[in-house]
Structure 1
């Protein structure tokens, strides 16, 4: 790799990723670096590619490993993947062309295909071509056309606004625990993964996030999970400008393949713990209070699911599928 990378692709991993996944990752062309962060006590797998940077986190856990990965991302732009997510081999070319046309954008939101972990054909099929950025019109939400999204069938670059953080806290959450939250509806987004970010904004955010984990002066509290939404919203909050268009959503068939499995097979997640950090650092934003309370009332159900899994010993599998044809393991999300 010559010079500063255009794109850093960062991934926390337990080290049990499949050969298929790493081989697909290394198919990505262009000036790219891959930052893999392992938990303590796990030796990085030997990978013969100078673009790969293998690190060991000082502490175990999704959030800490992702944080270490982002701290060591040196590219102009950064893309976070799990160690079974797949990205288009020509993603770097796509990133270069997009940010040449929109140099002030914060994000390029990629078209993501959600694929069942048992659908080996969909996971392994060849990629179609990438969209030609220069030939795409910009789709805007206007009074004349309030729904340019049209159920995902847009043909141009769909404008993506910043999350509406200034919304007021809905006090009904204090009295109706299962009241439906609707302020997360719309073209904005909350997550960080599978989206290309301007790395200057990300690096600006990391010190603020680190400071927010400090409790009572001498205690540092780092949740083990929930970093995806936490970091996506934290970046938007640190540099918040009301009603700002922060990027675009790409059309096309797919530029990301997200390998998924049914909710019943996933371990319970206590996202309210990481959501608390948003409220702690940005108490002025009602959007975060709505998010916090909506997840707070889900904690008993998460605990019940955890107990049920422990009693039945029905832990979700890590390596769930092996293809009969080639004997290649495809990891399901855990």
Structure 2
């Protein structure tokens, strides 16, 4: 299989069969930006990946990173936090933080026919009920030196009030529908 990407200037080949696309490392070197609290996050723009799935990774770096994530899940003594979702993003960004070198190619994306995606919430649809911040706190626990990760978490924290109001509205709507007599 051949490779293409931004580094070589031939990313247009990504839709051709037998081409894996190079995935540049996430821009973890970006500085902390307190404006993220106002919803002004722009440091995540550009060609990179955060999620682990549908990529080709080296087994030894995945295993070493999984050990770091496992250790980060220990809150105190026997108490552990295990995120119910977002583990693919947690693993993808943890690998990149552990082996960070600016401009490095961190993995390859397979051609579309080879990608397998089985989930209820595909990325082309608006996400619902997924909240990354708790898994991302594990990222920050292991990698507090990266402003990009602080910006990521701050942007998520700004969603808490919006999600709370949305959840309350949803509950009221459901209760209202249950009280309407059918028939």
Let me know the Cα RMSD of the aligned residues: 2.9
Q: Which residue of 2 aligns with 1:292?
A: 153
* SS of residue in 2 equivalent to 1:201: helix
Distance in 1 separating the partners of 2:73 and 2:165: 27
- Shift in Å at residue 309 of structure 1? 3.3
Q: TM-score, normalised by structure 2?
A: 0.75
Tell me if structure 2 keeps the 8 A contact 1:205–1:234.
yes
1:268 to 92, 106, 129: 129
The answer to whether the aligner puts 1:210 opposite 2:70 as a matched pair is: yes
**Aligned equivalent of 2:11:** 149
**What residue in structure 1 maps to residue 4 of structure 2?**
138
Aligned-residue offset at 1:191:
0.5
2:21 paired residue among 151, 158, 166:
158
TM-score, structure 1 length as denominator? Answer: 0.44
- For each residue in 1:156-177, what CA deviation from the matched residue of structure 2 results, as whole angstroms up to 9, or x when unmatched? 4432211121221113224xx2
Q: Which has the higher helix share?
A: 2
Higher strand fraction: Structure 1 or Structure 2?
Answer: 1
Q: For residues 117 and 69 of structure 2, what CA distance do their matches in structure 1 show?
A: 29
Aligned to 2:178: none
Distance 1:160 1:151 in 2: 14
**What is the CA-CA distance between 1:217 and the residue it aligns to?**
4.8
Does the alignment pair 1:312 with 2:178?
A: no
Structure 2's unaligned 5+ residue stretches are 176-183
- Pick closer, same or farther for the CA change 1:312–1:281 going to 2, 3 Å: same
Contact 2:57 2:108 in 1 (8 A): no
Q: CA deviation at 1:201?
A: 1.7
Deviation at 1:237, TM superposition (A): 1.6
Residues of 2 paired with 1:300 and 1:268: CA distance? 14
* Matched position secondary structure for 1:256: coil
Q: Does the Cα contact within 8 Å between 1:268 and 1:305 map onto a contact in 2?
A: no
Secondary structure of the 2:22 match is strand
What aligned pairs does 1:39-78 form with structure 2 within 5 A after superposition? none
Residue 170 of structure 2 aligns to a residue whose secondary structure is helix
Matched, 1:171 2:37: no
